[in-house]
Structure 1
Amino acid sequence: MALDFLKWVKSRPGFQASDEVYSYFVDYFGRRKDFKATHEVLVDGRGVTEVKSLEALVDRLVRAGRPTQAVALFESMEKDYGFPRNVDALKLIVSGLCERGYASYAEKMVKSLANEFFPDEFICDALIKGWCVDGKLEEVKRLVDEMYRGGFEETEDAMKLFSRIREWGCYPMKYIFGPSLYQAARLGEGDEMIDMMKSAGYGDALDKKAYYDFLKILCGIERIDHAMSVFTKMKEDGCEPGMKTYDLLMGKLCAHGRLDKANALYKEAESNGLPVEPKAYKVDPRFAKKRPTAVKKEKKRETLPEKMARKRRSLRKLRLSFVKKPKRMMRRAF
């Protein structure tokens, strides 16, 4: 009925359906958990629907207890509904998830998209709020420590200033690139900074120590995959990694429970003639695989029909126990 009403209203002369109108219909169908109708409304409003409709959809998905669909929406919304897949949409979905206590889903989403949309101060604050709503203070402390190590706010300001230097007719010197490289690591722009240094003729500044400091920052903010890609680039540039670099990466890989890659690095360091020795590394509890806890089966209360059937079976067995069983007679041969 509501869909028919929407079609009828759109057909009226002088009426122009707006994003706000569509958001009301999305909210109405979402409240009824009729997300098939919601999909039809958004498909119909493609090109008209904007932030309000997206906000209504995310809100209703999260309220309905469907955080997985809210996360998957980010990948399909541009293709299905024409919503732009950008940082603002990511912030909206993360904020919606965190307000309802789905911080674990939001954090997994943010980490999976970190190479494309690196989390800023707003996203980190939303995640902290989400863990607070969920009542998990240990996760809040962990996230605050990661933010402190990352230094997001000051880093963004520094990088904006660095990018404007060329506009003012100044070209950064060798000693400016170094600190900027380490700050860029926090924002996921370190690879671009390395290329910029090479194009500016300061590639020789990327020595073993510079790469080690860069990798140390990446490992400090738990970006181990990015650290491994920079490690590969380091070797491609002809910069041979030392014992400290291998030890840093092996320790972090073991902390993440990725023992196969840590062993591969150990063998690589050994083949390069470095004095590596077997060492005990601790696995970080945050990344350790949790054993599935056995759920205790509660004793199901017997219904009256089940109880009567059990009694009938018992009585039948009791009656049969008094019946004299016939002896087996030997057959005579004729």
Structure 2
Amino acid sequence: MKLKMLVLLNSALKRFTLHRMNTQHSKLLSFSLYSTLQPMSAPPQLQELCSIIMSNIGGLDDLALSLNKFKDSLASSLVAQTIEDCKSEAQSRRLLRFFLWSSKNLNCNLEDKDYNYALRVFAEKNDHIAMGILIDDLKKEGRVMDAHTFGLVAETLVKLGKEDEALGIFKNLDKYKCPQDEFTVTAIITALCSKGHAKKAEGVVLHHNDKIAGVMPCIYRSLVYGWSVQRNVKEARKVIQQMKSDGTIPDLSCYNTFLRCLCERNLRHNPSGLVPEALNVMMEMRSYKISLTSISYNILLSCLGRARRVKESCRILETMKTSGCAPDWVSYYLVAKVLFLSGRFGKGRAIVDQMISESLVPNCKFYYSLIGILCGVERVNYALELFELMKRSSLGGYGPVYDVLIPKLCRGGRFEKGRELWDEAIRMGISLQCSKDLLDPSVTEVFKPTRPEKISLLDSSKAKPLKKATTAKRLGKRKNMKKKRKS
């Protein structure tokens, strides 16, 4: 039931966000329509090409036939502008067919920058096949791949699980007339580490150490992150030790990454070691004059909440205050969340009040999530109290909460309160996604959670003699039947 309510809250939030996006889009559209009234408009050649590419009628062969009917002069600038105008709406393969048609019709008139731009567009669209075709064309025609394009291509290939292909392009950058310099080496290392391929990234560092001497702090941070993705605390610690031996002091970002790695590892394998080992890392940070922030503590609080370590979560929140690191609203949220999930509703509400007394103003997600949790564990009254606090703070964005509370109240038999919230939302001009039929008791099925009946010790003690008595009666009946048969 809890999972169902959380899913319902998330779907309501998504619908509300989509409604706001549509409203903003309509405003932007009206502005764009106004801008088209300006004297300067798109050239007719550009409009014709865009209409052909973005048409959903026919396949790629039909697209080629339509392009062959284009009679105006074609320039490389027109090709680039067409791709720019169509890339957000047109299908990736239609853009590829258009670019290949343009390169064929313009022969060698397309510049290297046009190829690089098109390659970056396909990389942003995660189209592996289109990227491969253009990369092959670059190599065949002896064109230059610039360093920025390579960085984006490498990042996309690693994200698509093609890290060996990205490394292959890097090793053969000379075939693309792109130098293996500080920028490209850093790009491939960062791309590999972003998905946890730290071992391969270390191989690149080993072979190109002389080219990245000036950016080693950045390289070290990437390696720590790469090992942290794998939750490999041992290797991440080795990188930090290497940083210190090279005279580079790890910064706050580097230590937070390592702290997350350590906490995630302990969450799976040693939950009791979460607090002591994390505090040791924080002590090490202080020894290097690194000021702890709420982000560092929130990493620990998040893992403690997932492990349901309630007392330790509350203790860390108090430690933050005494150590001079003021908790933010995320800190209070993480503690309140674990308190609600563990059934400590009064204490969780006290944590929320404490946050408000500190003059911290959370965003809507703070209330969305906690109200969803309270509804999921059948504590609607606490959810209503939180909703009142949300309205007092004048945050706005109440639609998703109404869409969760009204169905929950009505299906719990509280139709009057559901009607009250419905009328309140209508007065505020909020368009609700839930149906008005929920307010009708003849339509809405009331769900009341059933709990297994508890049998007291007194009842169980009475039940046993009854079984014995029943057994004795059965034995007596059998004896009487035997006597009758003998007689």
Q: TM-score, normalised by structure 2?
A: 0.28
Larger helix percent: 2
